[in-house]
């Protein structure tokens, strides 16, 4: 059972030598336990925060232990009546080939149906990132048809689901993404009405100009994934009583400062800004996943994936995700 552990904590930027590939074992199953062979690991930006030994909403990843993270796979052995060999499951198996899971632990393992939804999507559009988009849009932004909503990291796992959900509610949807390929994909495949390449607009003034053009009626809702000058530029373009779902600030995850130049606009425009953590809102997951699965089955949400091959590729793929090298949901494929 190959595993990747967190060997040491980053000093500033995360690097490959923070991780270590080790050979582990698979313990014999006890009553109530299930052995899962992982097909895909999910790589997610939040993992960067957990590599630090800092106070945050989630406890830090312990040193010397298998990197925690979402997985999908197949039950290969079971001593729990609810699970049989062959069942497809989603869980938090971590960066390793196999995991032994307590079938009685609430939420530890969930059986999934792969008839209409590919297994890997349960880590992306029809999984945690999809529910994240749903929560921010539906519960915080709560848009009316015809309103303009904007999302940063627009072509990623969260951003692409956000676009489909917002289009389904009749919004004008504007994305912000890195590079012409991602922007073309956003408008041609994901249904965005417009997409701004922030690399072409690398400062506040230029981004503000681009947003003015893409959002002629102002911005009613913003789903924030990035932080920094992009957030500032959006604030400048908000309408009165706009809502901001503060989901992520990836531009600062390696410790970069994210100063805010226009905080007075929060008052002037009477903005509602709300941070949230999707795992604290399990009550919406059923409803959100059902809508997301429906959009996938109807062909209205066609998420893209970047798949790196083999467990050993996980650290470099993860560091790439923090730099925008992924195009859509970043996964690691473990089975041939």
Residues interacting with ligand NDP, by CB under 6 A?
Answer: 44-46, 129, 132, 153, 155-159, 177-178, 182, 225-226, 247-248, 250-251, 276-278, 321-322, 324, 326, 329-330
Angle at 205 between CA 199 and CA 209, to 5 degrees: 80
Exposure of 43 by Cβ count < 10 A (0-12 exposed, 13-18 middle, 19+ buried)?
A: buried
The candidate with the shortest Cα–Cα distance to 207, out of 217, 216, 197, is 197
Please state the closest distance from residue 273 (CB atom) to ligand NDP, in A.
13
Residue 93 or 178: the one with the smaller Cβ distance to ligand NDP is: 178
Residue 75 or 219: the one with the smaller Cβ distance to ligand NDP is: 219
Q: Is 228 in contact with 257 (CB distance < 8 Å)?
A: no
- End-to-end C-alpha distance for the chain, whole angstroms: 15
Q: Which residues contact 240 (CB under 8 A, 6 or more apart)?
A: 269, 270
Q: Is 211 in contact with 190 (CB distance < 8 Å)?
A: no
Please state the closest distance from residue 54 (CB atom) to ligand NDP, in A.
15
Residue 238 or 330: the one with the smaller Cβ distance to ligand NDP is: 330
Residue 83 or 162: the one with the smaller Cβ distance to ligand NDP is: 162
Q: 249 φ, ψ to 5°?
A: -140, 60
Please state the closest distance from residue 278 (CB atom) to ligand NDP, in A.
4
Distances (CA, A) of 333 to 35, 71, 84, 91, 313: 18, 10, 23, 15, 9
Residue 233 or 322: the one with the smaller Cβ distance to ligand NDP is: 322
Please state the closest distance from residue 77 (CB atom) to ligand NDP, in A.
31
Rounded distance, CA 175 to CA 186, Å?
7
* Closest residue by beta carbon to ligand NDP: 156
Please state the closest distance from residue 63 (CB atom) to ligand NDP, in A.
22
Residue 239 or 276: the one with the smaller Cβ distance to ligand NDP is: 276
Q: Is 177 in contact with 200 (CB distance < 8 Å)?
A: no
Please state the closest distance from residue 195 (CB atom) to ligand NDP, in A.
9
Rounded distance, CA 297 to CA 318, Å?
29
Q: Which helix (H) or strand (E) holds 182?
A: helix 180-188
Residue 37 or 243: the one with the smaller Cβ distance to ligand NDP is: 243
Residue 78 or 155: the one with the smaller Cβ distance to ligand NDP is: 155
Angle at 177 between CA 95 and CA 239, to 5 degrees: 120
Rounded distance, CA 26 to CA 2, Å?
10
Please state the closest distance from residue 227 (CB atom) to ligand NDP, in A.
8
């Amino acid at each position: 059972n190959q595993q990747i552990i967190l060997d040491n904590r980053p000093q500033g930027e995360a690097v490959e030598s923070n991780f270590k590939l080790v050979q582990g074992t698979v313990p014999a199953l006890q009553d109530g336990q299930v052995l899962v062979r992982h097909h895909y690991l999910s790589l997610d930006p939040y993992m960067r925060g957990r590599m630090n030994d800092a106070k945050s909403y989630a406890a830090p990843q312990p040193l010397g232990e298998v990197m925690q993270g979402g997985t999908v796979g197949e039950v290969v052995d079971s001593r729990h009546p609810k699970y049989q060999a062959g069942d497809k499951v989603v869980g938090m198996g971590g960066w390793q080939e196999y995991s032994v899971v307590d079938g009685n632990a609430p939420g530890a393992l969930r059986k999934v149906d792969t008839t209409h939804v590919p297994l890997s999507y349960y880590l992306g559009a029809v999984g945690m990132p999809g529910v994240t988009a749903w929560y921010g849009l539906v519960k915080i932004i709560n848009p009316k048809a015809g309103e303009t909503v904007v999302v940063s990291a627009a072509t990623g796992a969260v951003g692409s689901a956000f676009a489909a959900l917002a289009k389904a509610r009749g919004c004008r949807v504007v994305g912000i993404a890195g590079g012409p390929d991602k922007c073309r994909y956003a408008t041609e495949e994901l249904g965005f009405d417009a997409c701004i390449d922030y690399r072409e607009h690398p400062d506040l003034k230029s981004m503000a100009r681009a947003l003015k053009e893409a959002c002629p009626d102002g911005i009613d809702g913003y789903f924030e994934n990035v932080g920094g000058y992009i957030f500032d530029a959006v604030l400048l373009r908000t309408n009165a009583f706009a809502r901001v779902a503060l989901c992520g600030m990836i531009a600062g995850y390696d410790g970069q400062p994210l100063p805010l130049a226009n905080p007075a606009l929060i008052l002037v425009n009477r903005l509602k800004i709300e941070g949230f953590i999707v795992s604290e809102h399990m009550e919406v997951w059923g409803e959100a996943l059902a809508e997301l699965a429906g959009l996938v089955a109807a062909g209205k949400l066609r998420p893209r994936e970047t798949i790196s091959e083999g467990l050993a590729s996980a650290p470099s793929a993860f560091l790439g995700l923090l730099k925008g090298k992924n195009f859509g949901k970043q996964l690691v494929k473990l089975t041939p």
